[in-house]
Structure 1
């Protein structure tokens, strides 16, 4: 049997020696002491459980020592499910209260050999969730995501909806940090729905705040403010100070981006006020103090900046080390810039860049490039500064692409569909404009004209020879190959326009700004904007960013949002069953079907399903609109139908289009896998 004298010693010592504890608390501890002295076995473990709950993570009572003793006692009784529960509590305590995720991960490693013997779904889920948090705080994103996913699978297996809400909430933060905004929004929305069902007001606020952060990161400040206002009202009504801290902290970041410095500082002062009232004061002080030091330094209030910076330098080591190292480095960088110490600031900026890369923080990566460029300019090193500016705009543009996919994906796909037949002319016009600025663009124009001539020749050949079987077969084979070449060429052109010419135009614009040549500067700026439009319309970027299933989901959501059609969907993830070529052709087929529905069906409701069968994928797009005669010449002669059939044959799928006038229509695609 484990020695209980050590346990009783620290209970009594902290009960009687802490002048802060009330008489009631002392009496309660005495009650536990007497009971523990006279019990053993299961009754002893039950008392330890009650004491652990009573202390409730309070380190003044040496919570970690108590729960460690309780774990060992539970294991000695072979009560492994209870031990797993206490281990999960101890990992949480190390992660969130003591800010020591290394210890949390170590505790998990010591216990993991017992996990296969656990039968409690709740204990297993909490173990996976809390060690995932340890890896998240340690910036090991790959391991963190692995354990969040394991926790999700276990929670779903045992119908643990409340825990599933936490998993989605924390995994959403990880996805957001990595720039996977669509996946983050999906997780946050799912978390908010689960917490509403559980009537968990605190975490409803956390989910709303996280959604606000996502919208703000993508420059949707009005939407972010609306989410944050809802959360603030709930938090202030329930006096949830822990929720108000990140709400005001994140609001300050938004005001900083909008260059509203007065509101930035006011929001941070509110965050500091609620930090002082929160029981998580020690964990929240470092980022809040660092943000205040940076804000005052950026606004020439050096005396106030230094007062908060001293709190960081004179505070405990964890104020300056992981997980707070990034906050401290940013505050140091702002102080050095404000003092004009640009050589020292360059060292801090390099550290900022290094941490952003190490932490895999997408936004910090591109902000670090801007910091480096600004400091190098101050040090009269313009060539190096321009290199960093190019990297900054490149990363910033990629964030912009993610943002537009979420809010404007529908318009992009509709534009591609409606402009399909005259895309060649549009490309020629845009490339003519850019050709005046670059020799490389001239070569791309010639190549684009050759492709355009080939596509036009294909269409004319198909229409003129469709009555002859042998010539039709030859035509179909040729069109198949051209579709593949067209998609490949679109992708290549989009890449080259963005990576090569785009970088040169950015550099040209910056140099023109330095020379203050307004007319040419405007022309370069317009050329850059038009170049970005071309690259986004040449190739559906959401397929590359999110995969087929998520890209189709985004497209349907945008149709539902931006038309009067009420869309329902059931989409299973089939990404692992599709090659890249099959995925893009299926995406185009669904896109064409939706475009026809929007134009002609006059429907108010529609449905899309994607089902994964044993040996095939089944896709059906149906509506309750006007319908049409499938035998009519207008229907059978349309370019859209021919394109659908060509793509269907190319990927080896079976295409079926059913409709009757007044009874709606449906498009069915079956593709073997």
Structure 2
């Protein structure tokens, strides 16, 4: 169902569904919009649309464009556009088939939208995130989660009265029930989808909803309503429908002719729909239409063609894990072989069904196995009774006993093998746990040493800062006071007076330098006001020096409680990274960003300097970089360095349980 959900996701990615062959004109049009945009925000919106479309042609380049857009949105503090970029990055991965990555990004987008002020942008973003997550879960065969997220999205779109989104959201929701053949429930959601059609711009999507609802009407005995819907889709079909809409249109007429007992006419319609499905290159519709065609061929007594299309449907469905649909196809085919008396083939298909579903729906498969086992035991018992009545009872009982004995032997051997394997597995697991525990103890030992060193360093810095400020600072201030007093009691020549003034100036400079050193060793703002204020002051001081323009951004740090030792460690990490930028990067600007969410803290330091080859870090023996690594390890954090010569440097750190 990739394209159905994709068209839904494109609705949320700021531009409408288009045919694949129309991509180049769309890109040209978006490129013109980008060049003509007057504001940065509008330009970024159009660039997001362009990047998502371009990723369909060149995935890596499209993804790279979104990365650049995210950075620019972050630099310019466009929070909503940054969330939009993350949401659309999830769409790019979704289109590639990486649904896990898509879910991760959609969940990140959800968190970003939740941070926005209350309003339609936040609501729409959350609705889009939920629906995209639901779409990914649907294609991962996790229909329970898909339903939960679809409904969460629908609730939001109902709240903001977004008819365009609701038209598609209810359409997608119906497919959960279509795939498990809960036709009446699917019909309810399709009717809800159609009810939002008159107020939307997407007549093509309305055509799809009406077509699907019409097809289901002929399955659930609502033929009169189905015929009315056919008249409606005939009108909509005149407006240059997309390829996907043609698939639904011909499928609906196929169901109508099948209901009207015109199987040959129904076959013609389904073959047309099948042809469009292959042109559309979506396996979901190929499976669906091949199944419909196979059923009609069997009804027309053309078993060879019927088997060919049913096999194509099963093979394609297995390749793409369309579990619910395969289950129904296999069940239907089993019934066909039972009816024609080919019990061997029917039994083989039943085994195939069990093997295919066992790993994906354990509970459902368990119940099915119990049902098949109860039927099998009942049939087996009846067969034994009939055999005992028609043949020699003693001979049959002996054979049965021998078979039972063989089963017991085989079962005992299998049980012994399983016990042996479990014993060996437990032994290896204990061995691995012991090795893991030893490694953990080593790490704990190293962390203890690191903690002691860092605490000792912090204490020594505090002591030295206090000694400098209270001791040497007081002494120098006393000398300055004495000299000022002396100046008023002495009569000096002009030259001596100038020399005296220079001495006082030098003394002032010494006092300021001493205070700067003491502040650097243990910032007063860090002790009194916490990490956020200390980092803000540090970046301000760097800016005042004129050596580097540093932008500081923090999220979630206001009123956040962070342990003193942790605050000092993070402050020292940022301080060391900015000092490295000053010394080595030849940068003009840098960004320091700190984000706290619950117990998670992330720190990012970026610059636009000359960059370097990150492989050199493994050979680096510098004390500064070693201190950074030790402090990150001390906080049990993760460190990621991204840099290339001539492209600046980005250092990202993540800490949990902060």
Give the TM-score normalised by the residue count of structure 2: 0.44
